């Protein structure tokens, strides 16, 4: 069964699980509260629809890991849904913290309802995610649920550590690759590692297999972020102005930029002079490429992807889901936008 068929099979089930979870926040006098959450999840309000929902990569990864690890993916639905809710809680708060007005082409929840209501709506998703996870105990042994929750909450802590570092880096010119990876491990990679680790926990695999799945998710997340950094500067849509502004305009200290700074070349000389306009961005992206940053980032993506695939192989994923999991990894890492 090719990966697309897994999406066709899983996505509708994931959506209905998520919808049932959100309904738990409903109650007398709570109409607008529910509206905020269904708007953010992409189901209601202006611009609602599949594009507004995002790709639901994380719950897909949970279910496919369970299947590839020999478990019953249906048992893992509350966990898949919980992780997507955690992801969305963190998006709501990140958008406030990063002052982002748009998310998937729509106004962010704080922009529509104000910071106070949006902060609180994010907290509600955090609580709902935990209530979802606890529903696992209707099917699985309590000790398994505790293990899954330990992984989830360790990850939530890690997310806040990554976000703390990201915010604290704004005022620092010099960052090392170590600083970068420490931040990205928390912000991006930890939640993907939780997807595959929790999938492995639910499938009751041995400890070393669980660790292999966890490492697969972790390196997939790191590779994904490095790929994001590459596209944020040299992606076709970015260069032609068809998509968001270049990361160079936003002044983001991404992997290629850190490399460029460390080279002390033509890019560095321009970078230290201050902010970059949309018009200048393509030329400065060329400077950065000439300094070797594009090549270096491609090398990192390649290295991280290999580590992800190696970890996955050492977990010995089974059957069609196992093959599809490898396919999903390649698909995520070869995207063009």
Query: Can you give the binding site for its own copies, defined by CB under 8 A?
Result: 24-25, 27-30, 32-33, 90, 93, 96-98, 115-117, 119-121, 123-124, 126-128, 130-131, 134, 137, 141-143, 145-146, 149-150, 153-154, 156-157, 159-161, 163-165, 167-168, 179, 182
Report, in Å, the least distance between residue 129 CB and its own copies. 9
Quick check: 325 and 65 in contact, CB under 8 A?
yes
Give 45 or 282: the residue with its C-beta nearer to its own copies.
Answer: 45
Q: How far apart are CA 208 and CA 168, in angstroms?
A: 35
Which residue lies nearer to its own copies by CB, 139 or 290? Answer: 139
Distances (CA, A) of 89 to 85, 110, 195: 6, 12, 16
Task: Identify which of 61, 13, 74, 92 has the alpha carbon closest to the alpha carbon of residue 194.
Answer: 61
Question: 49: phi > 0 → left, psi -120 to 50 → alpha, else beta; which?
Answer: left
Nearest to 255 by CA among 217, 298, 290, 212: 298
Which residue lies nearer to its own copies by CB, 13 or 134?
A: 134
Between 123 and 295, whose beta carbon lies closer to its own copies? 123
**Cβ-based nearer residue to its own copies, 155 or 227:** 155
The residue with tokens 């893992």 is 76
- The minimum distance between CB 19 and its own copies, in angstroms, equals 16
Nearer to its own copies among residue 171 and residue 279 (C-beta): 171
The structure tokens listed for 254 are 């991404």
Smallest distance from the beta carbon of 152 to its own copies, in angstroms?
Answer: 8
Tell me if 254 sits within 8 A of 233, measured CB to CB.
Answer: yes
Chain centre distance of CA 287: 30
Least distance (Å) between residue 159 CB and its own copies: 8
336 contacts 238 by C-beta, under 8 angstroms: no
Min separation Cβ 96 and its own copies, Å: 6
d(CA 323, CA 301): 21
Q: How far is the CB of 228 from its own copies (least distance, A)?
A: 21
Angstrom distance (rounded) from CA 2 to CA 123: 37
Closer to its own copies by CB, 146 or 272: give it.
146
Long-range own/partner contacts, residues 290-295 (CB < 8 A, 24 or more apart): 290/265, 290/266, 291/259, 291/260, 291/263, 291/265, 291/266, 291/267, 292/259, 292/263, 293/256, 293/257, 293/259, 293/260, 293/263, 293/267, 294/230, 294/233, 294/234, 294/256
Smallest gap from Cβ 171 to its own copies, in A, equals 11
In the structure encoding, which two tokens stand for residue 255, read together?
Answer: 């992997």
Min CB(236)–its own copies separation in Å = 32
Closer to its own copies at the Cβ: 130 or 252?
130
Instruction: Extract the tokens encoding 139.
Output: 């099917």
Which is closer to its own copies, CB of 128 or CB of 255? Answer: 128
**What CA–CA distance (Å, rounded) separates 182 from 206?**
28
In whole angstroms, how close is the CB of 32 to its own copies at the nearest point?
Answer: 7
């Amino acid at each position: 069964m090719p990966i697309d068929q897994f999406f066709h099979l899983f996505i509708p089930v994931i959506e209905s699980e998520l919808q049932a979870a959100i309904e738990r926040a409903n109650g007398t006098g709570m109409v607008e509260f529910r509206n905020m959450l269904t708007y953010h999840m992409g189901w209601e309000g202006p611009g609602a629809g599949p594009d507004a929902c995002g790709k639901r990569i994380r719950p897909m990864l949970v279910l496919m890991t369970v299947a590839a690890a020999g478990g019953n993916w249906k048992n893992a639905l509350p966990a898949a849904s919980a992780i997507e809710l955690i992801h969305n809680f963190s998006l709501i708060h990140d958008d406030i913290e990063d002052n982002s007005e748009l998310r998937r082409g729509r106004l962010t929840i704080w922009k529509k309802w104000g910071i106070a209501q949006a902060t609180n709506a994010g907290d509600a998703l955090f609580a709902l995610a935990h209530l979802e996870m606890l529903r696992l105990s209707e099917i699985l042994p309590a000790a398994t649920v505790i293990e899954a929750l330990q992984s989830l909450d360790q990850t939530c802590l890690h997310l806040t550590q990554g976000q703390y570092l990201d915010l604290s880096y704004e005022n620092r010119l010099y960052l090392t690759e170590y600083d970068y990876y420490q931040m990205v491990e928390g912000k991006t990679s930890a939640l993907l590692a939780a997807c595959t680790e929790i999938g492995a926990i639910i499938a009751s695999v041995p400890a070393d297999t669980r660790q292999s799945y966890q490492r697969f998710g972790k390196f997939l997340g790191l590779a994904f972020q490095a790929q994001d950094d590459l596209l944020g500067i040299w992606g076709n849509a970015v260069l032609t102005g068809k998509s968001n502004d270049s990361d160079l305009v936003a002044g983001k200290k991404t992997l290629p930029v850190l490399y460029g700074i460390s080279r002390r070349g033509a890019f560095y000389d321009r970078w230290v002079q201050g902010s970059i306009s949309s018009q200048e961005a393509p030329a400065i992206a060329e400077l950065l490429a000439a300094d070797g940053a594009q090549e270096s980032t491609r090398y990192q993506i390649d290295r991280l992807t290999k580590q992800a695939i190696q970890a996955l192989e050492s977990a010995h994923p089974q059957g069609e889901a196992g093959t599809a999991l490898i396919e999903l990894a390649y698909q995520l890492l070869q995207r063009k936008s």
